Amino acid sequence: MDKDSKIYLAGHRGLVGSALKRKLESKEYTNLIFRTHKELDLTNQQAVNEFFEQEKPEYVFLAAAKVGGILANSTYPAQFIYENLMIEANIIHASYKYGVKKLLFLGSSCIYPKLAPQPLKEEYLLSGPLEETNEAYAIAKIAGIRLCKHYNQQYGTNFISVMPTNLYGPNDNFDLETSHVMPALIRKFHEAKVNNEPEVVVWGTGKPLREFMHVDDMADACVYLMENYDFSEIGEFVNIGVGEDVTIGELAALIKEIVGFEGKIRYDTSKPDGTPRKLMDVTKLNGLGWKASISLKNGIERTYEWYIQSKF
């Protein structure tokens, strides 16, 4: 990518998209284009085609998606599968149709089977049943990976796919009904501290293991791959993660310390744990010359600071 290449960033307001925007701007890419959901409905094929015909982007970062935690995925599975399938199919097809030089599709670590061996290697895709609570979202993301693969096969396009681990950071969703575990815990501990509450309730047993990556690290990895590698070198997709995990209990204790909450943590074991462990194997990514640099503690401190500033 040249510094003045026309780059379309789909989903620029979300957690992932806003991090990609910051990264591209910091690297002095000057010709970035975006549209809000109000300006362009990505589930509408005609609208997407008209946008591509008019703007003719050379590079595309496909970060737009309908996302949420266990509760949202369990409550709205039809919306999750439909909206994500439509968004990725429309953008990937338009990228082929209007001659995009290179596209990066962002998937999710939930594509892997529920009981796949740990850490999760790229070749474990489709080797077993998915986690029931987010099956609809996972199937949509798997379809996106395969769309890229088969368009490359049939049409000679250069569409690459990356599968990030659990992400967190600025512009995350802190709504307790629809958020992921990290922002939910940051908000819960903060509000408990402000209101002098005696305890914070954490869903499940606290025993599941999870890997967390600051979204600025993820954005750095994506731009690095777009600048340096083609589909022929990457293969079907590459995991993006830090290669280390913590229990939900350890995460809760760390957030409690960073926020400065003095009370207790209580585990609500009537609530689901989800997958027992989810750690990405990042051997392939490290072999391509990239490693994460933001520690979990430092990343949470930065995120909590952002949360307080954005809230008040």
| pLDDT tens digits, one per residue of 180-196 | 889 999 999 999 999 99
**Sequence letter at residue 120:** L
Q: Is 210 annotated as a binding residue?
A: yes
Residues belonging to the chain: 312
Going from N- to C-terminal start, the domains of the chain cover 7-171+212-243+279-294
Reported confidence tier of residue 150, pLDDT bands at 50, 70, 90 = very high
The per-residue pLDDT for 66 is: 86
| pLDDT > 70 fraction of the chain, expressed in percent and rounded | 100
How many Å apart are CA 204 and CA 202, to the nearest integer? 7
Strand 246-247, strand 209-210: pairing: antiparallel
How many Å apart are CA 105 and CA 60, to the nearest integer? 8
Of 37-51, 123-137, 146-160, 188-202, give the lowest mean pLDDT range. 123-137
Phi/psi region, residue 40 (left: phi>0; alpha: psi -120 to 50; beta: rest), is: beta
How many Å apart are CA 289 and CA 304, to the nearest integer? 30
How many Å apart are CA 123 and CA 159, to the nearest integer? 19
pLDDT in tens, 253-311: 999 999 999 999 999 999 988 778 889 999 999 999 999 999 999 999 999 999 999 97
Gyration radius of the chain's alpha carbons: 19
pLDDT in tens, 238-253: 999 999 999 999 999 9
Q: ∠ CA(67), CA(214), CA(207), 5° rounding?
A: 75
209 phi and psi angles, rounded to 5 deg:
-100, 135
Q: Mean pLDDT across the chain, nearest whole number?
A: 95
The per-residue pLDDT for 143 is: 98
pLDDT in tens, 35-48: 999 999 999 999 99
Once rounded to an integer, what is the mean pLDDT over residues 11-34?
Answer: 96
Phi/psi region, residue 196 (left: phi>0; alpha: psi -120 to 50; beta: rest), is: left
Give 18-22's long-range contacts (Cβ < 8 A, gap of 24+).
Answer: 18/170, 18/171, 19/169, 19/170, 19/171, 19/215, 19/216, 19/218, 19/219, 20/61, 20/63, 20/219, 20/222, 20/223, 22/216, 22/219
Q: Is 166 annotated as a binding residue?
A: yes
Is residue 101 classed as helix, strand or coil in its secondary structure? coil
Q: Is 37 annotated as a binding residue?
A: no
CATH code reported for the domain at 7-171+212-243+279-294: 3.40.50.720
Q: Is 106 annotated as a binding residue?
A: yes
113 phi and psi angles, rounded to 5 deg:
-55, 150
Q: Is 42 annotated as a binding residue?
A: no
How many Cα atoms occupy the beta-carbon half-sphere of 59 within 13 Å?
Answer: 21
How many Å apart are CA 274 and CA 302, to the nearest integer? 27
User: String of b and e for 135-171 (b: at least 16 CB within 10 Å)?
Assistant: bbbbbbbbbbbebbbebbeeeebbbbbbbbbbbbbbb
Q: Is 84 annotated as a binding residue?
A: no
The per-residue pLDDT for 114 is: 87
Of 64-73, 162-171, 230-239, give the lowest mean pLDDT range. 64-73
The per-residue pLDDT for 74 is: 82
User: String of b and e for 205-216 (b: at least 16 CB within 10 Å)?
Assistant: ebebbbbbbbbb
Query: What pTM, to 2 d.p., does this model score?
Result: 0.93
Beta carbons of 203 and 69 less than 8 angstroms apart: no
Q: Is 11 annotated as a binding residue?
A: yes
Once rounded to an integer, what is the mean pLDDT over residues 56-67?
Answer: 94
Reported confidence tier of residue 312, pLDDT bands at 50, 70, 90 = low
The per-residue pLDDT for 265 is: 97
Indicate which residues carry an active-site annotation.
137
Is residue 159 scored above 70 in pLDDT? yes
Once rounded to an integer, what is the mean pLDDT over residues 38-64?
Answer: 98
Is residue 307 classed as helix, strand or coil in its secondary structure? helix
